[in-house]
A and B are shown apart, each in its own frame.
Chain A
Amino acid sequence: MSVGKNMLISASLLGIFAIVGTAMVAYTNEHTVEQVAFNKQQYTLNKLHEIISPKAHDNDLESDTIKVTDPRLGSKHPMIVYRARKDGKPVAAIIQSIAPDGYSGNIEMLVGIRVDGSLLGVRVTDHQETPGLGDNIDIRKSNWILQFNNHSLSNPTPTNWKVKRDGGAFDQITSATISSRAVTKAVYNTLQYFKDHHDELFKTEVPHEPIQ
């Protein structure tokens, strides 16, 4: 009997601690959830504004998006396309894209393409490339990624859409040819995807499952 009573007291104590603990976490969460959501939004927006100047568009980039799935974007999963517009006219699309063949796995990128098909800019958003070598694809480490600015499918010609090591037009990062090659290829694929789906990408009214 007293054993049962003891167990009951212990269990209730444990229960009380669990309830108080959960309440404290819930309270903290309640008071910060808006700030956290704001931070995430701000972070994405900052990334996007590295590619497109805030003056070049007047719509809400964060919410003017569609989700698309295409093997050329490097993933089976839907990728987000942010559409930039000014006075209701399309300016550019910033397409989430993945280079699946990096040196250590996926390289996640944002590829900004003007409505005329030229590159506004490319940024790597997430990767596991080797620190000090492959991570030079990241703008915080080197300016390598800027060399894609203003290029398009016809400039250079498709056969030259490679790194110099492979006979193409783009510089590779020394000792990180695989990372450079992966990014270059993914940018090219994204440009092709953009060309094929140009009109659908900027539609304001999106039917269900717009692009396959």
Chain B
Amino acid sequence: MSQYSEIIQNGLWKNNPATVQVLGLCPLLAVTSTVVNALGLGIATTLVLIVTNVIISLIRDFVRPEIRMPVFVMVIAVAVTIAQIIMQAYFYELYLIIGLYIALITTNCTIMARAEAFASKNGVRESFLDGLFMGLGFTAVLLTLGAMRELIGYGTLFQQFNLLFGEGAKAMKITVFHDYPGFLLAILPPGAFIGLGLLIAIKNIIDAKRAEAQSEVNVQTAT
């Protein structure tokens, strides 16, 4: 049981793919200009990560070490291509916006890293959980960054949600600042770098505070 909670904590916080492993930056930085784009890429990445992790842990016993890498690459490429085709079929408008980055999921090092570092050494259940929570951890960072940039850049939240959830979701758009002139820097790539830098910094501060509290407790119990 504690092994599972370890996997969950690793994915969401301790070993978060975006803020700790700092993997998959290309799609992360490019797509997070709005919440809906971030959510779309996050869901797609999570699904691909679950599928590839499960498949790789299933086949890990009879894939010989010398062909391990090409087989992993193939599994990932197949999963991503299928995800891309499905998206084209059912979320076409969103595909037009983030389609390029869907193909780039193949090159998202997070997926290869989890295949190599985790799924090839662990059982199906653990690998599934690892894929799910690494994906969710990645999505959480995408969403936070997307919300920050959309809020600062456009002064809105959840604009264009209809791309993902149909016409009814247009109403979900929240205009936080009325008559907001927009702040270009947040929408352009530099805004993404600055935003991610801030997120990592905040995470480190929280970790440092926690460690401090922890060591104080330790000192008290020791005395």
Contact = CB atoms under 8 A, between A and B. Distances in A.
Interface of A: 9-10, 13-14, 17-18, 21-22, 24-25, 28-29, 32, 35-36, 39-40, 42-43, 130-133
Nearest to B160: A140
A36 B89 contact: yes
Interface in B42-76: 62-64, 66-67, 70-71, 74-75
B89 A130 contact: no
Contacts of B85: 25, 28-29, 32, 36
Q: Report, as a range, how many residues of chain B touch the other chain.
A: 20 to 34
A35 B90 contact: yes
Contacts of A14: 67, 70-71
B89 A35 contact: yes
Contacts of A132: 153, 182, 184, 187
B88 interface: yes
29 contacts: A10-B64, A13-B62, A13-B67, A14-B67, A14-B71, A17-B71, A17-B74, A18-B74, A21-B75, A21-B77, A21-B78, A22-B78, A24-B78, A24-B82, A25-B78, A25-B85, A28-B81, A28-B85, A32-B85, A35-B90, A36-B85, A36-B92, A39-B88, A39-B89, A42-B92, A130-B184, A131-B153, A131-B184, A131-B188
B110 interface: no
A28 B86 contact: yes
Contacts of A21: 74-75, 77-78
A204 to B, nearest CB: 31
A43 B82 contact: no
Nearest to A133: B184
List 10 tightest A-B contacts by C-beta distance, closest first.
A32-B89, A39-B92, A21-B78, A35-B89, A132-B184, A132-B182, A131-B187, A28-B82, A36-B88, A10-B67
B33 interface: yes
A43 B184 contact: no
Interface string B173-199: 000000000101001100000000000
A25 B82 contact: yes
B6 interface: no
Interface string B135-168: 0000000000000000001000000000000000
B93 interface: yes
A29 B92 CA distance: 15
Contacts of B63: 13
B64 A13 contact: yes
Contacts of B96: 43
Contacts of B182: 132
